[in-house]
Each structure stands twice: as C-alpha cells, then as structure tokens.
Amino acid sequence: MFDTHAHIHDRAFDADRDAMLARARDAGVERIMTIGTDLAASRAAREAAVRYGLDYSIGVHPHEAKDAPENLAAALDELLAEAGPKPPRAIGEIGLDYYYDHSPRDVQRAVMVAQLRFARERKMPVVFHQRDAFDDFRTILHEEAAGGLAGVVHCFTEGPEQARILVEEYGLRLGIGGVLTFKSAASVRDAVVAVGLDHIILETDCPYLAPVPYRGQRNEPAFIAATAGVLAETLGTTRDEVIRRTTATAKALFGA
C-alpha cells in the first residue's frame, strides 16, 4: 500500500516514530509520502524522508498562507535547490480552507494560485487541500488549469457531483482516507462509486482522521488497511484489487 498523504515529521510521532513506521511496514505499507504544510515543515518533511526512505512534498497549506513569503516561488525554488538527490514528489499541500479561515480568504487564494503556477511551470503534481471552499477552488482550477492537471484533492469529503467535476473536468484524483469509514460519510461512499476505483488513491492524513475502528485515536499509516477494506466493500471488489489499483494510480501520479 502507498499512504499518499501523511505527516510523519509531525510532533505527534516524536515519541515513537521508529516503532510506528515498523508497524506500517508490518501492515504492508511500502510507500509513504510525508506532506509539507509551510516552508519549515517542508524542510522537516525532507529530513524525515531522507532519514526513513519516504517520499515528501513541499508547499504552504491554506492555514499558513498568511505567513507565506512575498516571493513564494523563489522560496520554493530554494527548497528544490537544497533537495539535491532527494527531490520532492509534489507541490502541496496547497489550496483553500474556509472552514477554519486561519488565513484571510484573499490571501489563501493568492497563495494557492502562486503555488499552482509554480507546480505547472516545474511540471510537478499537486496535492490539494479543499474544505468548504469548493466554488472558489473550482474557479481557480478553471482559470489556471482548464486543460487539466496532474494532482490529487486529498481528504475528499464531498459528494458525487463534486467528485465528477474534479475527475472529469480537471483530470484530478481523489485522496480517500479515514472519513470514508465514518457512518456519517454516505456521500463520500457515493462519490467513490460515482468516479470508480481508477481515480482514487489512498491516504491516512495521519496523525489526523483515523478510520473506524481507530476513530478518535492518533492516526498512523498502518491503519490505512482499514480504509482499503471499506473502499473494497463500497465498490464491491476485493481489498487486494483496491490496493493494487490505487497503488498503481499513485505511482503514475507521483513517480515509481
């Protein structure tokens, strides 16, 4: 399995990171991408990736958009230059979050656009975060990436209509995590049925959003097996088939 969205460098794992990664290996997780959320966290993601043999991404999350440097492209280029033989696999997570509104919305939009342009110029895939901002998110995609782009909308929590728009109009993948297993998430299950297995990749978003039966606990990559199981049930297929095809899709997006 490929956990395409984790925050392994997060403080939540400081006490037991080695044991936690051993549990992931034992559970059959072969690949993990640890995701940057601001410039410092992107550097921490790279350090964890080098140390533990992970993939990583660099980018500024909408929560942190208010602290992004004025010349964000130059700062990202600096991160690329520092990376040497271990380049990031994606730009992210970037996007809009109007649920928390930790940064002003106009700043969120500007920071998303700057990073989306950067990713397209560098021909890198994008990891998007979108919460309660679908219309503005779609407008930016329409203006900046009408021809489609390589990327994933991680932690997808909306319904079939939004899923179809992201997949069919923009060629994006849906990152499906623990929310799929929540009793209340019938619309997410309808969405995965609507778009089908070939447009889905698996993620944990750990340490957040643990799937049932671990809900409420600190999440970790080993728990991704529970999400794969529910995805198989939802689509009427086997867990092995889910794992095989989501892994292939993720490798096609982020590199083998």
Residues binding Zn ion (CB under 5 A): 35, 93, 129, 205
Residue closer to Zn ion by CB (options 63, 215) is: 63
Smallest separation (angstroms) from Zn ion to the CB of 95: 8
Residue closer to Zn ion by CB (options 179, 238) is: 179
Q: What is the DSSP letter of 211?
A: P
Q: Which tokens belong to 236?
A: 């009427």
Smallest separation (angstroms) from Zn ion to the CB of 237: 27
Residue closer to Zn ion by CB (options 10, 167) is: 10
Tell which residue, 78, 79, 102, 97, has the closest CA to residue 89. Answer: 79
Smallest separation (angstroms) from Zn ion to the CB of 236: 29
Rounded to the nearest 5°, which phi and psi values hold at 57? -125, 160
Residue closer to Zn ion by CB (options 107, 232) is: 107
Residue closer to Zn ion by CB (options 129, 199) is: 129
Q: Which tokens belong to 189?
A: 């299950």
Smallest separation (angstroms) from Zn ion to the CB of 222: 17
Residue in the block written with tokens 């550097």: 43
Q: Are 192 and 245 in contact (CB under 8 A)?
A: no
Tell which residue, 211, 203, 207, 197, has the closest CA to residue 153. Answer: 203
Smallest separation (angstroms) from Zn ion to the CB of 149: 18
In degrees to the nearest 10, what's the CA dihedral of 32, 37, 43, 49?
Answer: 0
One-character DSSP codes across 222-238: GGHHHHHHHHHHHHTS-
Residue closer to Zn ion by CB (options 89, 129) is: 129
Q: Output 48-55 pairs: Cβ under 8 A, ≥24 positions apart.
A: 48/8, 48/9, 49/86, 50/86, 52/8, 52/17, 52/21, 54/8, 55/31, 55/88, 55/89, 55/254
Smallest separation (angstroms) from Zn ion to the CB of 147: 25
Smallest separation (angstroms) from Zn ion to the CB of 67: 17
Q: Which tokens belong to 31?
A: 């690949």
Residue closer to Zn ion by CB (options 12, 244) is: 12
